[in-house]
């Protein structure tokens, strides 16, 4: 990928980086020792989105109640948590895991969300879908559109809860993408990290405690989400997350007979075998390029954004910042104009990339440019005095 600048000539090279990062060979060796029972699995770093380990990541499979991650995303993005929801007959009659909602009763969105994600209530899923989408069909359109926007191209939703349907499927990789996005929503992160909650029972006029089905919250240090799932077709499924030492890792397991053992092994692997390193900071000067016909003969080039990468801890050696940038540009030059692309690589593997921008503007060397430059200097002098 190359950003064309105002000059036609481009040059490539390597920026020297005084940074030591980890080699991937030993981490791969450690991964081969993992004995995972799941039919499909993914380990992903939450901050960088880098995939750290996979097993059949693109295999389309039933996802059971992991569906409810997307349901919760849409509810949080399109509804006030204190809005009332009247429970319909269709919602109350939904089979499978349940909050035992009664038709005609009223709950807040907030309470239904806790029932959705902690109790895995299928009735809560339908009630929320009707509330947000106006109808089941409307909500399904929302779900599939959002999945496409998040890059989950191998996912299709036909219901908001995950009960079996041949056209309702996803992949381990797609579910990791959805979970990563969901965890970036603070209210979602708080919701799925909750061990328990109390929700009102409008029939008994009392509050009832409910408990999260995700036992990792009690058993794994740093566990903070996300969702369990099970049907005969899907098998035992889980999206898990945990945070240690400032890093959060996501694990997706589909059809995992040894669900909790798999989750513990993969979370430990992702958290202990890798670390996150910043290799470039937004606005950091990375060099300069020549300017033709300007009041300045050169302009600095800067990184457009922070660049973080996830690397194994096992063996350290230098990472390369590979760039393609204009050899020179012609004035006038606007500040933050794109003039190239910066790629972070290890052994020719692309880890991250960002545009390279001009750090400041340069006026053309003509009467207008000189006049503007004089005016700016005069204004600066007046302000300083």
The reported pLDDT for the residue numbered 293 is 86
Average pLDDT over residues 155-175: 98
The reported pLDDT for the residue numbered 19 is 40
Span 6-17, pLDDT tens digits: 334 556 655 544
User: For residues 271 and 312, is the Cβ–Cβ distance under 8 A?
Assistant: no
Q: Is the pLDDT of residue 66 over 90?
A: yes
Residue 120 catalytic? Answer: yes
Catalytic residue, candidates 65, 170, 241, 303: 65
Of the candidates 346, 362, 365, 343, the residue with the CA atom closest to the CA atom of residue 354: 343
202 pLDDT band, cuts 50/70/90, is: confident
Span 210-236, pLDDT tens digits: 999 999 999 999 999 999 999 999 999
Q: Is the pLDDT of residue 277 over 70?
A: yes
Per DSSP, what are the bridge partners of residue 287? 301
Q: Is the pLDDT of residue 186 over 70?
A: yes
Q: Is the pLDDT of residue 149 over 70?
A: yes
pTM of the model: 0.85
Q: Is the pLDDT of residue 379 over 90?
A: no
Q: Which of 15-29, 55-69, 83-97, 167-181 has the lowest mean pLDDT?
A: 15-29
Q: Is the pLDDT of residue 29 over 70?
A: no
The reported pLDDT for the residue numbered 21 is 37
181 pLDDT band, cuts 50/70/90, is: very high
316 pLDDT band, cuts 50/70/90, is: low
Calpha distance 129→78 (Å, rounded): 11
**Average pLDDT over the chain, rounded to an integer:** 88
Q: Is the pLDDT of residue 350 over 90?
A: no
The reported pLDDT for the residue numbered 315 is 54
Measured in degrees and rounded to the nearest 5, phi and psi for residue 42 equal -145, 140
The reported pLDDT for the residue numbered 6 is 38
The helix (run of H) or strand (run of E) holding residue 339 is strand 338-346
Catalytic residue, candidates 55, 68, 97, 227: 68
Q: Is the pLDDT of residue 367 over 80?
A: no
Helix or strand or coil: residue 261?
A: helix
Domains of the chain with CATH codes? 10-21+282-384 (2.60.410.10), 38-257 (3.40.710.10)
Largest interatomic CA distance in the chain: 82
Catalytic residue, candidates 120, 170, 241, 303: 120
């Amino acid at each position: 990928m190359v950003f064309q600048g105002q000059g036609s000539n481009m040059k490539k090279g390597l920026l020297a980086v005084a940074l030591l990062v980890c080699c991937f060979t030993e981490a791969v060796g450690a991964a081969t020792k993992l004995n995972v029972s799941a039919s499909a699995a993914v380990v992903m770093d939450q901050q960088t989105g880098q995939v750290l380990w996979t097993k059949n990541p693109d295999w389309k499979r039933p996802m059971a109640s992991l569906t409810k991650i997307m349901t919760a995303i849409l509810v949080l993005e399109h509804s006030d948590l204190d809005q009332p929801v009247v429970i319909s007959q269709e919602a109350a009659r939904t089979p499978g895991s349940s909050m035992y909602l009664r038709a005609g009763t009223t709950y807040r969105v907030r309470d239904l969300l806790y029932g959705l994600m902690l109790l895995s209530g299928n009735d809560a899923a339908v009630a929320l879908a009707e509330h947000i989408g106006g109808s089941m069909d409307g909500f399904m359109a929302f779900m599939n559109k959002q999945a496409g926007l998040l890059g989950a191209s191998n996912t299709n939703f036909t219901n908001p809860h995950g009960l079996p349907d041949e056209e309702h499927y996803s992949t381990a990789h797609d579910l990791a993408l959805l979970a990563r996005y969901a965890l970036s929503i603070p209210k979602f992160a708080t919701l799925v990290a909750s061990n328990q909650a109390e929700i009102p029972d409008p029939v008994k006029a009392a509050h009832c405690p409910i408990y999260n089905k995700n036992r990792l919250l009690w058993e794994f240090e740093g566990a903070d989400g996300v969702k369990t799932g099970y049907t005969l077709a899907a098998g035992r499924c889980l999206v898990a997350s945990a945070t240690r030492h400032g890093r959060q890792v996501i694990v997706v397991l589909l059809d995992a007979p040894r669900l909790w053992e798999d989750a513990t092994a993969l979370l430990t692997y992702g958290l202990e075998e890798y670390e996150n390193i910043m290799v470039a900071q937004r606005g950091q000067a990375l060099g300069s390029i020549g300017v033709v016909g300007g009041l300045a003969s050169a302009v600095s080039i800067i990184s457009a954004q922070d660049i973080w990468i996830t690397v194994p801890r096992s063996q350290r050696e230098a990472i390369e910042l590979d760039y393609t940038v204009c050899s020179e540009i012609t004035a006038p030059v606007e500040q933050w104009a794109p003039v190239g692309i910066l790629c972070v690589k290890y052994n020719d593997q692309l880890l991250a990339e960002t545009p390279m921008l001009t750090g400041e503007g340069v006026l053309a060397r003509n009467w207008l440019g000189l006049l503007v430059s004089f005016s700016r200097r005069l204004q600066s002098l007046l302000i300083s005095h």
